[in-house]
């Protein structure tokens, strides 16, 4: 589990299998940018 400020690019040591932003996306100014940041840390075929 990782807690992060999703207004900033997400940084992880290695790609992850899944990302689950809970009750946050509707509160952020640019949800599309957040999806890009989350997708960037996923392994191939990882789940969002």
| pLDDT, tens digit, 9 for 90 and up, residues 1-48 | 888 888 888 889 999 999 888 777 888 888 888 889 999 999 999 998
pLDDT at 18: 93
pLDDT at 24: 78
Q: Which residue, 45, 34, 33, 43, is CA-closest to 13? A: 43
pLDDT at 41: 94
Name the residue with tokens 């207004």. Answer: 7
pLDDT at 42: 94
Q: What angle do CA 39, 5, 33 make, to 5 degrees?
A: 40
| SS3 state of residue 8 | coil
């Amino acid at each position: 589990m990782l807690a992060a400020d999703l207004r900033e690019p997400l940084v992880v040591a290695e790609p992850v299998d899944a990302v689950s932003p809970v009750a946050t996306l509707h509160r952020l100014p640019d949800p599309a940018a957040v999806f890009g940041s989350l997708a960037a840390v996923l392994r191939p075929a990882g789940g969002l």
